[in-house]
């Protein structure tokens, strides 16, 4: 199944990269690579992420990567990466 990153999710990743890069460019690059790798398995196993507890919709799921939640939606034809947020952030407020 095809994985599509939303503009919002890509902006989230860029903001996280900038934040991490203020301490280490190496770890910023490593974070991005790891985030993309964590999502790759979804093309073969789209329902392998857990259901987002705040939403309780079987088609809205998340992959946990480090301290971040990569939230995505499964459709008939693709996987839409919606957002990437820090695990401590209030999801309901978004």
- On whether residue 94 sits in a domain, the answer given is no
pTM of this prediction?
0.91
pLDDT, tens digit only, all 94 positions of the chain? 999 999 999 999 999 999 999 999 999 999 999 999 999 999 999 999 999 999 999 999 999 999 999 999 999 999 999 999 988 876 665 5
Vertex 19, ends 17 and 22: CA angle to 5°? 105
3-state SS class at 46? coil
- Output the domain CATH number for residue 52: 3.30.2310.20
- On whether residue 10 sits in a domain, the answer given is yes
- On whether residue 43 sits in a domain, the answer given is yes
Vertex 94, ends 21 and 63: CA angle to 5°? 60
Residue 93: the pLDDT is 53
- On whether residue 15 sits in a domain, the answer given is yes
Question: 């989230």: which residue's tokens?
Answer: 12
* Domain count within the chain: 1
Residue of 83, 53, 90 whose CA lies nearest to 65: 83
- On whether residue 93 sits in a domain, the answer given is no
Beta strands in 34-75 (DSSP E): 50-51, 60-65, 68-74
Domain that holds residue 55: 2-87
- On whether residue 92 sits in a domain, the answer given is no
CB-CB contact of 82 with 3 (8 Å): no
């Amino acid at each position: 199944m095809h994985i599509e990153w939303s503009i919002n999710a890509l902006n989230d990743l860029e903001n996280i990269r900038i934040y991490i890069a203020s301490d280490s460019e190496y770890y910023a690059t490593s974070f991005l690579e790891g985030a993309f790798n964590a999502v790759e398995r979804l093309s073969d196993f789209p329902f392998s992420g857990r259901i987002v507890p705040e939403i309780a919709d079987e088609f809205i799921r998340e992959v946990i990567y480090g301290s971040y939640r990569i939230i995505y939606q499964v459709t008939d034809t693709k996987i839409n990466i919606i957002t990437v947020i820090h695990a401590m952030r209030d999801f309901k407020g978004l």
